[in-house]
Homo-oligomer: A and B are copies of this chain.
């Protein structure tokens, strides 16, 4: 059982033939907690939809320090879109933080979805619009919200995240030190 075709069908009109074809073109992949799904520098040739679990996108700065940039949890689409678009190497390492089940679509199949499904292009626009708004909020929140407000807002975007994910990852995501985060939570 996967949610992926249903989620797409809830956003656009699809014929039964298109739905069947979509299921055929989707691969289910599973990962154990701590598994690396993709490494920084790998070619990005697929998009993921999270059926179950939570994944994390990290990147290394010049000094080799790892930063948590994004998460994705149930019913969220996820890729390194910039690298996917340009068929270039990912700037992110993607890691399973729980036992995780993903629906995976290769670039060829995404091209089929956007190009051959009657309303596929519309679906692409909707997903891109969602992610755009997520990023815009991420930029904005960093400047106008307090760290405590950013912490609280995270669990709206990623339900249950504070019970599911080590706090040092949350601290990195909201841009404070681990010590600062502990202090916030005790206030």
Interface, chain A (partner B; CB < 8 A): 59, 61-62, 67, 69, 81-82, 85, 91, 121, 124-125, 128-129, 131-133, 135-136, 138-140, 142-145, 172, 175
Contact = CB atoms under 8 A, between A and B. Distances in A.
A175 B176 CA distance: 13
Query: How would you classify the secondary structure of chain A's contact residues: helix, strand, loop or mixed?
Result: helix
Contacts of A144: 59, 61-62, 67
Contacts of A129: 85, 128
Contact of A82 (B85, B133, B138): B133
24 contacts: A59-B140, A59-B144, A61-B143, A61-B145, A62-B144, A67-B143, A81-B132, A82-B132, A82-B133, A85-B129, A91-B140, A121-B121, A125-B125, A128-B128, A128-B129, A131-B132, A132-B132, A135-B138, A135-B139, A138-B139, A139-B142, A142-B142, A142-B175, A143-B175
A138 to B, nearest CB: 5
Given A128-B128, A175-B143, A81 B135 contact: no
A124 B125 CA distance: 9
Nearest to A70: B139
Contacts of A85: 129, 133
Contacts of A138: 135, 139
Given A85-B129, A125-B128, 15 more contacts: A69-B143, A81-B132, A81-B136, A82-B133, A121-B121, A124-B125, A125-B125, A128-B128, A131-B132, A135-B135, A138-B139, A139-B139, A139-B142, A143-B172, A143-B175
